[in-house]
Amino acid sequence: MAVKDDVEIFKARIDKRDYRRVVLSNSLQVLLISDPVTDKCAASMNVGVGYFSDPAGLEGLAHFLEHMLFYASEKYPVEDSYSKYISEHGGSTNAFTSSEHTNYYFEVNTDGFEEALDRFAQFFTKPLMSPDATMREIKAVDSENKKNLLSDAWRMNQSGHRMLHCISAFLNSGCSGCNCSQNSGHCGSRVRLFAKPIFPSEQPQFSLGVWGNWDTLEVKPKARGLDTREELLKFYDENYSANLMHLVVYTNESLDKIQNLVEEKFQDIINTNKSCFHPCGQPCKSEHLQIVVRTVPIKQGHKLRITWPVTPEIHHYTEGPSRYLGHLIGHEGEGSLYYILKKLGWATSLSAGESDWSLDFAFFSVVIDLTDSGHEHVEDIIGLLFKYIELLQHSGVCEWIFKELSAICETKFHYQDKIPPNDYVVDIASNMQFYPVKDWLTGSSLPFKFSPNVIHMVLGQLSPDNVRIFWVSKNFEGHTDKVEPWYGTGYSLEKITGSVIQVKFPVLLRRSTYSALWYKPDTLFSTPKAYVKIDFNCPYAGSSPEAEVLVHIFTQLLMDYLNDYAYYAQVAGLYYSITHTDGGFQVTLLGYNHKLRILLETIVEKIATFEVKTDRFSVIKEMVTKEYQNMKYQQPYQQAMYYCSLILQDHTWPWIEQLDLLPALQVEDVAKFVPLMLSRTFLEFYIAGNIESHEAESMVKHVENVLFNYSTPLCKPLFSSQHLVNRVVKLKSGMNYFYPSECLNPENENSALLHYIQVGRDDFKLNVKLQLFALVAKQPTFHQLRSVEQLGYITVLLQRNDCGIRGLQFIIQSTEKSPGNIEQRVEAFLKMFETKIYEMTIDEFKSNVNALIDVKLEKHKNLREESSFFWREINDGTLRFDRREHEVEALRQLTLQELIDFFNEYVKVGAARKKTLSVRVHGNRHSSEYKAEVSEPNFARIDNIFTFRRSQSLYGSFKGLSGQMKL
């Protein structure tokens, strides 16, 4: 039974048509339109599944499915009878596939509408996709591709986006609403920027990977053992769900009659409650920005396209920021940019506005058709464009201009001419996926809410740092060095430098015997937020297990005391945490900078005047005790990770000793310990974001005054010998160590292995070899050890970084296999993997190198992420703030032979210099194997972690006299 909707749909003043929104029992949303005077009827079904949902390795499947639905259905099995019926009744039909939806539509004479609608409904209930038709339509799609190979519009769209590698732009960015694994890279393979109509009369809008051809739909799937028809049927069943569909029906009948027709013909569409796929964020990485691409067209002429990734206007459609900016930048009146370019004889047309948008990304583009003279003055034209944008930024957003634009849009909407019913239903069906019900007819055509901040936000994104320039000219023929593989378009690519000089890395702004201040202003995010980290380096805090547990209780009490006050700060967008570390504790603040200092001063004051409250001590002690008691219920693989850290990292204490201490601890122990802990302290600050350097220094001075400069100071500076170092056990070359243990929870049947391969100290060249190997081996590890051998659900290969000491670790948890058995399978895998790495082709090597470069060049998404990256460098003592740039350069110089040499030296089974540590945690099903664990040939058993740790050499610490460090 359909449900009527009482929401009023906003329509034009002169619109005499009647509208009704209904929702069928299968969740299909429908808009009914009654127009008694129309002589044509129409319908459009918008399915919320597009080429972003193409399965990996089957590019073009969504578009191919669009073709196949036109063939036949169980009810109407004669091929092409649908299209024949439409044609015989004075109509037309078409469809197109976009990034996030596929739209089907038809128009027909009124006397043929009911049967046409019935035939149309079969697309979404019981279509026939016969094997014979499948093969013929693959050939048709391939033919469709070939006919456009000499079309400049298609060539420029395909080439421009392939040059930017946008096909892989979402790799490692995660996704929402789809069923893929975020670690699989699947979503990255879906990213295409354009949509596509199936008939040639419409303008081309998308890239080849979305369209598909004989290679992507037949050759490559067959080589992988896939049947395209079976994949087609699976794709249809998995994605064509009623809850993702929006239907518009336009006839001359009453709304009640239309509703009855729709209920009868569309209620059988299956609803699987499928989630709509959305990619996350902008597809452009740093290498896609600040570039100019010179491209050779087929036809004569010159064109310039300047684009910026921007916030999609769909999220601010009532404010219309891109519409406002497009109105000004694309203006053609006196004093406009185009007016100047035309007067100079450099341009014949100019347009500006948002293009290629989805819910998650959009581009603002300025497109200029150039004269021969304009082609010779492109740098001047681009300079004038940025001068004009700068003028807009300085002059501010004008309310009168917005109101004028809003009035024009309103008049145009209310007094618009009728358009053909098929165009009308397509527009509305597309709107239904993105806009609330009341705005289904208007979409984004009626900006009415004046918001200078929103317009300024988008205007700020039109910067030289974000720009991408496409320059198309026949004059480039013979002067390009690259060829786009699908269309054979010649092009060249060049990196350009932004005009804004920014502080890219933290600087050591201030140092004293009390503290060091690392400072990094916000140059990327333009938000009124700041990040503050204070590391309290207190030697007494890490001197014993008892000291460590007392620090833990102290930080929990401190958070408890601040809770009532800080709650209101959190409501206002200010967040903080206080956590214990191996050498003291850390205070972290993040949020709006306006009141951040007040919160910081309150926290420091609470530290300086700390007193233990007996009632709260009892509560916190109980909480901490339970926390330690629950350690034994961790998963075996987590226990293995804990033991590995305990073995490798110097000056770490076992939690079991801390648990044993807890029952005897009293209020007096904490009260005596805190002043002792703080008596010798060094503070390391990291302050970043929307804070001026003098403000940052002022904060540090205030903290120093409170803690160090009172008449009876709470803290004194550290002696030089007391500064924190972080040292890691240096395993002996050629040795394989193993540490066996029983699972702490005797009821857990799972066992786990952590197989660690130590590589060495932080070094750009060594790091990228390790990272590249991990990238190459990650998927084969998962496939062989989990999918094929079924060792266990948790099967991962990860890099490991202990304070700048790099390595690899296989982590596997299994119910069926003992840790020793798993160890044998890991070594067997590495022996098998030798062949893969030895037989790797240069193209495969380069592809993996480029994938890793893409990851490294991805920009930080927010202030927290950027600060975490830089703080890791400070905390480890490595201070490689330009790490990504140097490692990218090292990757570009790396050879396949160097990767093979790395494998042979550090990873290969039996390598002379290889250093391994295996932690084996035995569940109750493998307790007998634990009891039988003895030293084996080529394996040295660790019986006591601390005896072993004291007997080994240590790597030198990167961290030392923090207060004396200098860039």
751/815 Cα distance (integer angstroms): 6
Which residues are paired to 613 by β-bridges? Answer: none
169: three-class secondary structure by DSSP? coil
Rounded distance, CA 902 to CA 905, Å? 5
66 is catalytic: yes
In contact, 66 and 104? CB cutoff 8 Å: yes
Torsion angles phi and psi, residue 746, rounded to 5: -65, -15
- From residue 873, give the alpha-carbon distance in Å to each of 310, 727, 801, 882: 31, 15, 12, 10
Phi/psi for 493 (5° steps) reads -130, 135
| Strands 72-73 and 127-128, sheet pairing | antiparallel
CB 30 within 8 Å of CB 163 = no
Annotated catalytic residue 218: no
Helix and strand numbers (H, E) in the chain are 32, 31
How are beta strands 751-761 and 805-814 bridged, if at all? antiparallel
Range list of β-strands (E), 489-564: 490-495, 507-511, 515-521, 529-537
720 in Cβ contact with 694 (< 8 Å): no
Active-site residue among 59, 100, 107, 137?
137
Residue type, 441: L
Residue carrying the six token digits 């000291």: 547
- Lookup: tokens for 862: 């927010």
Of residues 294, 615, 645, 311, the one with CA closest to residue 458 = 311
* Tokens 């929990």, residue located: 556
Q: How far, in whole angstroms, is CA 378 from its chain's centroid?
A: 35
SS3 287: helix
Q: Which of 66, 253, 319, 887 is catalytic?
A: 66
Q: Which helix (H) or strand (E) holds 675?
A: helix 667-679
The token pair that represents 552 in the structure block: 């833990």
Pairing of the two strands 507-511 and 515-521: antiparallel
Q: What angle do CA 500, 506, 511 make, to 5 degrees?
A: 135
- The C-alpha atoms of residue 645 and residue 624 are separated, in whole angstroms, by 21
Q: Which residues are known to be catalytic? A: 66, 137
